Amino acid sequence: MNPNFASNQDSEVLTLLSGGIDSAACVAFFQNRGNNVSGIFVDYGQISAARERKAANEISRHFGIKLNEIHCTGVSPKADGCIRARNALLSCIALMEADFRSGIIALGIHSGTDYWDCTEEFVALLQQLFDGYADGRLRLVLPFLDWNKREIWNYCRQVNVPIELTYSCERGLDQPCHRCSSCRDLEVLRALPIYAHST
Which CATH number fits the domain that encloses residue 22?
A: 3.40.50.620
- Each residue of 133-168: b (16+ CB within 10 Å) or e? ebeeebbbbbbbbebbbbbbbbbbbeeebeeebbbb
- Say how many domains are in the chain: 1
Q: Flag whether pLDDT at 166 surpasses 60.
A: yes
> pLDDT-derived band of residue 196, with 50, 70 and 90 as boundaries?
very low
Cα–Cα distance measured from residue 95 to residue 91, given in angstroms and rounded to the nearest whole number:
6
Whether 85 maps to a domain, the answer reads: yes
- Residue 3 domain-assigned (yes or no): no
Q: Measure the CA–CA gap between 193 and 14, rounded to whole angstroms.
A: 32
The secondary structure of residue 46, as a DSSP letter, is B
Structural domain includes residue 197 = no
Tell me whether residue 66 is in a domain.
yes
Please provide the average confidence, as pLDDT, over all residues in the chain.
88
In the predicted model, what is the mean pLDDT of residues 83-109?
A: 92
Q: Which domain holds residue 145?
A: 12-190
Rounded Cα gap, residues 55 and 175, in angstroms: 13
Kindly report whether the global pTM for this prediction surpasses the value 0.95.
no
Integer Cα distance of 90 and 195 in angstroms: 33
Cβ burial, residue 21 (10 Å; 0-12/13-18/19+): buried
Domain annotation covers residue 2: no
Q: Is the pLDDT of residue 77 over 80?
A: no
Instruction: Give the pLDDT mean for 36-59.
Output: 95
Residue 160, domain member (yes or no): yes
Domain for residue 199, yes or no? no
Tens-place pLDDT, residues 59-75 = 999 999 999 999 987 76
Q: Is residue 196 part of a domain?
A: no
